[in-house]
Chain A
Amino acid sequence: MKKFYLIVIILAIATVGLSSKWQDNKDAKPQKKSVSKAKTTKTGKEKSNQQKMMKKLYTNCKTCHTYEYPTKSDPALVNCPRSKMISVFHRPEEGPIIVKMNDIYGKYGPVIFSHRIHSEMSEMSGGCNGCHHYNTTGPVLKCKKCHAEERKREDLSKPDLNAAYHRQCINCHRQWNRNVNCDGCHKLKENDSEQKIAILVNAVSNAQHPEIPHPEKVVYETKYNKGKFVTFFHDEHNKIFGIQCIECHRDENCIRCHDINRLKKGNNISFQQKKIHKTIDEHHKPCVACHQKQSCDKCHKSNIMDRFNHTITAGWALKHYHQTISCNKCHGGKIGKVNRNCSSCHKKWELGNFNHSVTGIILNENHKEIDCESCHENKNYSVKPVCNSCHDDKNYPKDKPGRIKSIRVVSRK
């Protein structure tokens, strides 16, 4: 009987209980956290400025300074403030050749990392701060300057050394080899020996990045009918115009070259890339850095363009010595800015020792004997010559002081 009553009571309570939802569990309610405010003796204005700055950097003073009142002369900077502020850039040669990573106790032997090759590659993909992400204004720091070796630690704002290393390496490497296996970089201590390590150190120290293959010519087909094709001669830009790789390739993703699918094909690395959506600006960015002032049809043609030919482009065939010198010998630092003032090199050219036919015009009898300056005002050869000092009705280039030398087109190697 007692049991029966009990069941009835329980059922009644439970039904009431189920129909109303108790969302709050009194026992488990966390107490409101009291916000602790750092004590400070600064004035109101200073404080608000400081707070503004900290908010911007998402950091507080202690993150960068070892004591509370740093001064200009003694900023007391700690090694690793948590915001981007690298200001020192090194050349790859300035960094170490290899880094022997052997700071973490465990079952694996040291990892021999080729710092030089990576830093050389990094020039094409964002520079030092691709890896050395946070730095003070001093020299580039080693990982372990900031990252603690201990995983169990107070400061959780940055990962420990083990994780810092792994994040830097794995996040790139796994993209092209599609695996995250330990044995990609590590050797078990039991399989390692001093001798083997020495051999590896030697091999990695001497390792060079293989020559980067590059295309001769790339043809872009736009979706427009007018000026459908853009032809880009990679080798010309690189070999003839002497443009360094990093002048165009600054923010490349490693994957552009390092992809397992590409490596499989052996040496025939394909440059057919996956289509990535780019904005018009992004498409033009690498070109317009130099071809700033040119009109669209300089590059956008209805046909695939021929190679660069000085004779056609400049109307002046490169021959003999001129074929061997670099562009900027005549054109100054920047290609396109033409300085036709031959006398900057040919200082002694004057009437009598100058064979005018090298310019493409063989002077006729009337003009052979007159001063250079009569036509080339102020000996400025970069502007068109004048006729009106003698002739009222003549005008260059409609009228010429001789005959045009027949030009044989010589293409440059």
Chain B
Amino acid sequence: MKEISRRSFLTSIGAAATGSLAISANQALSQPTNILSEDRRGVLVDTSNCVGCRSCEWACKNAHGIDAGDIESYKDRSVFNNMRRPGIDSYTVVNEFSNEKNPLLPIDVKVQCMHCDKPACVSACIVGAINKHEDGSVVWDTDKCIGCRYCMVACQFQIPVFEFEKAIQPEIRKCDFCYERFKKGKLPACVEICPLEALTYGPRNELIKLARQKIKRNPEKYINYIYGEKEVGGTSWLYLASRDFQSIGLPKLNNKPAPGVSESIQHGIFAYFVPPVALYSWLGAMMWITKRKEEVKQEKEIDYV
């Protein structure tokens, strides 16, 4: 309660200060949609069921107009020799980790945007180009983006990627939880194709119950932890695994949402105003410093794999 009042206090100062200076702008322009619906969807990724067939990678590309190539070419398991990250032409990738308990059953882990409940990318975006929708999806919107890449810096899962190669109208690219398909009543492309249903789509509340049930029934199979239930304030995508999540490439994060540092300033002030370049870089530097502090702090605590 105390914190909220401090926050609203600061917001109101900001709003008051800028409000008097920039009168004509329309606030609605840059306010992002940020719905946290009770009924929001999620996906439970059961890494013990994933076999690393990479059909999801193929389906995701196909659903987003990216050249996916022949599905037969996804047989190639040599891609697992390197850790991969989502990129501009692949919103999701599957990585493989060796399993010392049974070397013949390696652990495969699909990575994509987590669709945070309190998305740092949404908070960081100055112009409200990223929105969180009623289904839980966090979607980047082409029209508004000015290419500042704050979202990339803000995301603790390092998900958004920027089309550096493109000189004109470069885009931020990331998994959009197949928002377009959702609106048509379809499942996300990756969920629909997964031959093992390692990805279970449903109301997030239900998925947490399901995950608990799975852990209870199979205590030898899973560690007693649902990754994403609490991380950075909760995420729509949840993970179950047989061993600790840092060893399968998921970062150790605390349960608090990324600091809403920029949010109040940006949404409160920049809504009315296009600031000079100097200010951008100053804010950027401050964000980088805080992020760096966080990282340094975390690095001290955690072993990244």
Contacts and interface: CB of A to CB of B under 8 A. Distances in A.
B197 A25 contact: no
B256 A23 contact: yes
B131 to A, nearest CB: 12
B253 interface: no
Given A2-B21, A22-B7, A58-B213, A175 B104 contact: yes
B34 A27 contact: yes
Contact of B196 (A21, A23, A30, A166): A166
A25 B123 contact: yes
Contacts of A290: none
B275 to A, nearest CB: 8
B279 A179 contact: no
A156 B202 contact: yes
A20 interface: yes
Contacts of A2: 21
A6 interface: yes
B25 interface: no
Contacts of B105: 171, 174-175
Given A157-B210, A174-B51, A176-B104, A30 B36 contact: yes
A408 interface: no
A390 interface: no
B52 A180 contact: yes
Interface stretch (B12-20, B145-153, B238-246): B12-20
B196 A9 contact: no
Given A18-B286, A22-B3, A167-B49, A181 B75 contact: yes
A28 B279 contact: no
A162 B196 CA distance: 7
B10 A17 contact: yes
User: Residue among A7, A25, A156, A180 with the most chain B CB within 10 A?
Assistant: A25
Interface string B263-305: 1110001000101100100110010001000000000000000
B286 A14 contact: yes
Interface residues of B, number: 64
B38 A30 contact: yes
User: Residue among B132, B195, B234 with the most chain A CB within 10 A?
Assistant: B195
Contacts of B216: 58
A72 B117 CA distance: 48
B4 A28 contact: no
A216 to B, nearest CB: 28
A117 to B, nearest CB: 21
Contacts, number: 136
- Number of chain A interface residues as a range: 35 or more
B293 to A, nearest CB: 10
Nearest to A83: B217
B206 interface: yes
B58 to A, nearest CB: 11
A13 B196 contact: no
A160 interface: yes
Interface string A138-177: 0000000000000110001101101100110011001110
B200 interface: yes
Interface in B180-196: 186-187, 191-192, 194-196
B110 interface: no
B6 interface: yes
Contacts of A159: 196-197, 200
B170 interface: no
B6 A20 contact: yes
A174 B269 CA distance: 57
A348 interface: no
A14 B196 contact: no
Interface string A15-50: 011101111111111110100000000000000000
A18 B13 contact: no
A255 interface: yes
B205 interface: yes
A170 B7 CA distance: 53
A156 B206 contact: yes
A10 interface: yes
Contacts of A25: 118, 123, 233, 257, 260, 263
Contacts of B261: 14, 17-18, 21-22
Nearest to A9: B17
Contacts of B8: 26
Given A6-B17, A27-B36, A167-B196, A180 B191 contact: no
A21 B286 contact: no
Contact of B195 (A30, A33, A166): A166
11 contacts: A9-B13, A11-B282, A14-B283, A22-B259, A58-B213, A151-B187, A159-B197, A163-B196, A167-B196, A167-B197, A175-B102
Nearest 6 A/B pairs, CB to CB = A163-B197, A23-B256, A175-B104, A159-B197, A28-B118, A9-B17
Interface of B: 3-4, 6-8, 10, 13-14, 17-18, 21, 34, 36, 38, 49, 51-53, 75, 77, 102, 104-105, 117-118, 123, 132, 186-187, 191-192, 194-197, 200-202, 205-207, 210, 213, 216-217, 233-234, 256-257, 259-261, 263-265, 269, 273, 275-276, 279, 282-283, 286, 290
Given A3-B276, A58-B217, 19 more contacts: A6-B21, A14-B261, A17-B10, A17-B264, A17-B265, A22-B261, A24-B7, A25-B260, A26-B4, A28-B132, A29-B36, A33-B38, A156-B200, A159-B200, A162-B195, A170-B51, A174-B104, A175-B102, A182-B53
